[in-house]
Amino acid sequence: MPDQNQYQILDAGNGCKLEKIGDYTIIRPSNQAFWETQDAKKWSDFDSEFNRKSDSKGTWEGDLPAKWQIQHRGLKWNIIPNEFGNIGVFFEHLEYTEDLLQIFDRQDLILDLFAYSGSSVMSLLKDGYKVVAVDSSKQSMGLYTANMELNQISRDGQKLILEDVNKFLKREARRGKKYKSIILDPPTFGKGTKGEVFSIEKNLLEMLLDIKNVSDPKASIVMTLHSPKFTQIILENLLFSLFKKAKITVKELSIPIQSGLSLPSGYLCIVQNDD
């Protein structure tokens, strides 16, 4: 079946984005979209809109199924809208898949932290890479597994670990475990299964130090961040202070919009240690 690329941002502006996901069109908040919308007519026809009621949760207004499937970028995805406004896939992760294929060695076991539904590594799994996926959310691990099954990816050689990322890293460090390939997508804020609280501003430095403790001297580390409090220079300085001998690359992530604009979607940070 040819790749149908069934996800697209039709327009964005006035603090929202208009997305076409398979047979359904939705509107979600997008704080980065400060500009005016480019095509007002497109916004008159949609199936559902997410209205945020608090700092995190909200409700979907309109006619939308609890779950459906699409095909995009050569993979199939489960779309499951939730009370936080997420849909089960972070499509910005698919914008740097080709980079990962160049950065990570197929022979190395990849450590995937804050794995969520697997959108950052599903292309690697499909291509035969082996991954240790770590996430503290049972629901996320369920989505990850469901997407593997949907794409007929074998569980052989794959590891799924339901645990707080910080606890996992500290335990691996005590064991002397080292990884040559690490990828992570830390949330701005999150809670673990046992009440552990993660705040990107408070905990990022400690987490990166823990990652350094489990990194092989020649490790490649790929991190995506979405908090508006971080800038390219802040991230470059932070990573350089920790990995002084490494090649540091920080660039803005974005997703193309049908209008010709691009929607900012955080930063992609790459640390490549040569020795």
Helix axes 165-174, 200-213, angle to 10 degrees: 20
- 222 in the same domain as 110: yes
Distance, CA of 215 to CA of 180 (rounded, Å): 6
Distance, CA of 38 to CA of 228 (rounded, Å): 24
Distance, CA of 117 to CA of 114 (rounded, Å): 9
pLDDT score, position 3: 54
Q: Is residue 47 a part of any domain in this protein?
A: yes
The count of structural domains within the chain is: 2
**In the predicted model, what is the mean pLDDT of residues 256-264?**
95
pLDDT score, position 87: 96
The residues, any chain, with a CB within 8 Å of residue 187's CB and separated by 6 or more, are 114, 198, 200, 226
SS3 letters across 97-146: HHHHHHHCCCCCCEEEECCCCCCCCHHHHHCCCCEEEEECCHHHHHHHHH
Task: Report which of residues 194 and 44 the model is more confident about.
Answer: 44
pLDDT score, position 190: 63
- 99 in the same domain as 70: no
pLDDT score, position 188: 72
pLDDT score, position 199: 76
- 228 in the same domain as 268: yes
- 97 in the same domain as 136: yes
DSSP annotation of 3: -
Task: Report which of residues 5 and 220 the model is more confident about.
Answer: 220
Q: Is residue 102 a part of any domain in this protein?
A: yes
CATH of the domain at 211: 3.40.50.150
**In the chain, % of residues over pLDDT 70:** 95
- 109 in the same domain as 22: no
Task: Report which of residues 55 and 95 the model is more confident about.
Answer: 95
Residue that is last in its domain, among 54, 79, 104:
79
- 188 in the same domain as 97: yes
Structural contact between residues 271 and 99, judged by C-beta atoms closer than 8 angstroms: no
- 263 in the same domain as 131: yes
- 141 in the same domain as 171: yes
| pLDDT over 70 (residue 240) | yes
Tens digit of pLDDT for each residue in 114-144?
Answer: 999 999 999 999 999 999 999 999 999 999 9
Other beta carbons within 10 angstroms of residue 222's beta carbon come to 24
Q: Is residue 192 a part of any domain in this protein?
A: yes
| pLDDT over 70 (residue 154) | yes
Q: Is residue 116 a part of any domain in this protein?
A: yes
pLDDT score, position 116: 93
- 127 in the same domain as 258: yes
pLDDT band at 274 (very low <50, low <70, confident <90, very high): confident
**In the predicted model, what is the mean pLDDT of residues 191-210?**
77
CATH of the domain at 68: 2.60.40.1180
pLDDT band at 98 (very low <50, low <70, confident <90, very high): confident
Q: Is residue 84 a part of any domain in this protein?
A: no
Distance, CA of 7 to CA of 24 (rounded, Å): 10
Tens digit of pLDDT for each residue in 30-78?
Answer: 989 999 999 999 999 999 999 988 767 899 999 999 999 999 999 999 9
| pLDDT over 70 (residue 101) | yes
- 237 in the same domain as 144: yes
- 101 in the same domain as 71: no
Distance, CA of 155 to CA of 28 (rounded, Å): 34
Residue that is last in its domain, among 79, 104, 133:
79
* Total length of the chain: 275
Q: Is residue 22 a part of any domain in this protein?
A: yes
Q: Residue 21 belongs to what domain range?
A: 7-79
Q: What are phi and psi of 197, to 5 degrees?
A: -110, 130
Torsion of CA 220, 213, 207, 232, to 10 degrees: -40
pLDDT score, position 53: 85
**In the predicted model, what is the mean pLDDT of residues 20-38?**
95
Residue that is last in its domain, among 79, 110, 131:
79
Q: Is residue 168 a part of any domain in this protein?
A: yes
Q: Sign (positive/negative) of CA torsion 2, 101, 17, 39? A: negative
Distance, CA of 192 to CA of 165 (rounded, Å): 9
**In the chain, % of residues over pLDDT 90:** 81
- 108 in the same domain as 30: no
Distance, CA of 104 to CA of 119 (rounded, Å): 16
pLDDT score, position 195: 61
What integer best gives the mean pLDDT of the chain? 92
Structural contact between residues 52 and 61, judged by C-beta atoms closer than 8 angstroms: no
pLDDT score, position 1: 44
Measured CA angle at 51 (ends 45, 52), to 5 deg: 155
